[in-house]
């Protein structure tokens, strides 16, 4: 019996020391202390990135951690590294440059294995920052800051294709990226836009229901109700007109069904907890 693993895009700058709630939840998904987790630091230009995540994951009790530092496309053919990936319970893609991920790993046995094992064998795949952007079928490769969509504001490239239901953007509120996500959706309003704040993650399950975790928010842009886009006639640098798009802002515990396009607020705390909160000055 086949089953899909979780897809976990993280907005970057996730808490790693004081209360690493997102990473702890990912570790629990993968099997807690007995989880076999592979870290792929390809997006990062820092040689220490892989070692740093080993330290973080060991603090969370993980015994079996491997770093696969794919630096060239030839690395992606190494049978020994592919065997490690084949045995993993979870894979974590670090931040950095998403184009470095796509140009190095795209179209290789590595990405083919990630897609197959996530879709059929329950492999959980998480990515932070650049590692989040690359998880979808379409990836934001470049883009400018600002809240207004403009005709040349974003460049799209193929991602790893673990899901075709969403375009993912990261560092969303911190870097004012609403405009570039709207621009990406104005080209073709098929997928949902997911804008991830820092230290915030979307845990997307096998039914494509997304649950929010973390200290920030996720901005969900649903273009399914769009009635008009001027993208086809907009001149370079010009603003783009889009009408009747739905926007949700979701916080920790809130959910969004990527297929049904429905949102749910976080569950209410127990009544006793609510009374205690109400009494606080």
> Which residues carry out catalysis?
129, 171, 198
CA distance 98 to 110: 15
Phi (first) and psi of residue 14, to 5 degrees: -65, 145
Helices (H), 60-165: 79-86, 98-105, 109-120, 130-133
> What single-letter DSSP state applies at residue 232?
T
CA 5 – CA 246 distance, rounded (Å): 28
How far is Cα 165 from Cα 162, in angstroms, rounded to an integer? 9
Paired sense of beta strands 255-257 and 209-214, if any: antiparallel
């Amino acid at each position: 019996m086949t089953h899909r693993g979780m897809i976990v895009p993280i907005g970057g700058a996730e808490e790693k020391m004081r209360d690493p709630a997102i990473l702890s939840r990912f570790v629990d998904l993968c099997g807690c202390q007995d989880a076999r987790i592979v870290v792929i630091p390809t997006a990062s230009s820092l040689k220490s990135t892989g070692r740093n995540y080993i330290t973080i994951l060991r603090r969370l009790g993980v015994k079996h951690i491997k770093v696969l530092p794919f630096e060239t496309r030839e690395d992606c053919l190494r049978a020994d590294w592919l065997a490690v990936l084949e045995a993993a319970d979870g894979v974590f893609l670090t931040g950095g440059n998403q184009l470095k991920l796509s140009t190095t790993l795209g179209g290789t046995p590595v990405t083919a294995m990630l897609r197959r094992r996530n879709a059929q064998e329950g492999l959980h795949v998480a990515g932070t920052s650049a590692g989040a952007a690359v998880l979808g079928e379409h990836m934001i490769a470049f883009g400018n800051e600002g809240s207004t969509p403009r005709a040349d504001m974003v460049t799209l490239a193929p991602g790893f294709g673990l899901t075709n239901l969403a375009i993912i953007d990261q560092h969303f509120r911190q870097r004012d990226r609403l405009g570039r996500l709207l621009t990406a959706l104005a080209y073709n309003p098929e997928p949902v836009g997911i804008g991830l704040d820092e230290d915030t993650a979307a845990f997307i399950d096998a039914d494509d229901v997304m649950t929010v975790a973390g200290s920030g928010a996720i901005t969900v842009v649903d273009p399914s109700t769009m009635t008009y886009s001027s993208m086809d006639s907009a001149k370079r640098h010009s603003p783009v007109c889009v009408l009747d798009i739905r926007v949700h802002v979701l916080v920790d515990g809130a959910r969004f069904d990527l297929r049904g396009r429905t949102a749910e607020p976080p569950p209410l705390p127990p009544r006793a907890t609510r009374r205690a909160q109400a009494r606080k000055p």
